[in-house]
Structure 1
Amino acid sequence: MIDKLDRLVEDISGLNSKLVLLIGPPRSGKSHLLTQLAARRKVRVLSVGTTLGRELLTVPSTRRHLQAADLLKGQVDAFARDGLSLMDNIELLFDRTLQLNPLDLLKRHAHARRVIAVWPGGLRENRLSYATTGHPECKDYGLDGLVPFEIH
């Protein structure tokens, strides 16, 4: 599976949006696969929840939604190497108080470099989902501008 993902990382170089989402059920090995890719490519994995969360704690809560996207950009830039950024634990991006559109944010980063991210939701009938219907953070997206990489 790592060889297939590694080839895909090369293949997406010419695309306008270079976003690959690792999608699979919990405990399917998404994070492990990303770690393997990181070791192979000598790139650090950005744990968004830990790193961005730590920085957001230094920002007054009334200003976090104004600074979250810029703080994330700085972190992505710091962790990226050779035009590649690897992201895991992105659940914080769905926090309603931050007023972010997580998928659009990932796509914006994927215009400048290849972005491989672990998707914390599911894929069903060519639709990405995060959380269940009725949950306050429930999101539903189409697949435009990204490449899904399913892990079963």
Structure 2
Amino acid sequence: MLPHLPHQVAEQADKAGPLYYRLVILAGPPRSGKTRALHDLHSKHGWPLVNINLALSKRLLDLTARQRALRVARLVDDIVQETDSETVLLDNIEMLFHPDLKQDPLRLLQSLSRNRTIVSTWRGAHVGESLMYATPDHPEYRRFDDPQALIVSSAGPSGTEAAPDQEQSA
């Protein structure tokens, strides 16, 4: 991870305040420093850091498959609200993309970001005006055009770490 990445994310979180969606997405491939950046932000600013896969899976255990699909958005909202913070860091959001949950993960993150700033990791890339999750050959691959979020890329276009000034925002 490049040392400037947490700083870039914090700058975007500050800019998100007046926006309709106060959503900052830290996009990049696995092992590109996204989680480390969130841990640094948590340490420096005291912003709560939530592992969505862990917190959500605990709440879904006793539900049927149908109940899971119907309640997942509300459960994630409850998890975020419990932090009682103006800025919340979300990591490990892969579960939101599971086909059985039938969610639109970007819309879910956008709805969470209406009343607080949400900073979320995103396993994928930001290319032009599009945000992609996973790779096209992956079953959970999704492409979102015009994501209406501020985007910080943790990797360059070839999958290498970004140059210090390489930041993209929508």
Give TM-score scaled by structure 1 length: 0.91
Match of 2:97 in 1: 94
* Whole-angstrom distance in 1 between the partners of 2:141 and 2:147: 19
Query: As a proportion of its length, which structure holds more helix?
Result: 1
Match of 1:142 in 2: 145
Match of 2:28 in 1: 24
Which residues in structure 2 correspond to 1:33-72 (within 5 Å)? 33-72=37-76
For 2:37, what is the secondary structure of its paired residue?
Answer: helix
Cα RMSD of the aligned pairs, angstroms, is: 1.5
Q: Give unpaired runs (5+ residues) of structure 2.
A: 155-161, 163-170
Give TM-score scaled by structure 2 length: 0.82
Match of 2:118 in 1: 115
Instruction: Name the aligned partner's letter for residue 46 of structure 1.
Output: V
* Whole-angstrom distance in 2 between the partners of 1:3 and 1:129: 23
Q: Number of paired residues?
A: 151
1:97 Cα deviation from its structure 2 partner: 0.7
* Whole-angstrom distance in 2 between the partners of 1:24 and 1:91: 13
Displaced runs of 4 or more, over 6 A: none
Q: Give unpaired runs (5+ residues) of structure 1.
A: none
Structure 1 vs Structure 2: percent identity of aligned residues?
A: 28
User: Are the counterparts in 2 of residues 131 and 137 from structure 1 also a CA contact under 8 Å?
Assistant: yes
Instruction: Name the aligned partner's letter for residue 56 of structure 2.
Output: L
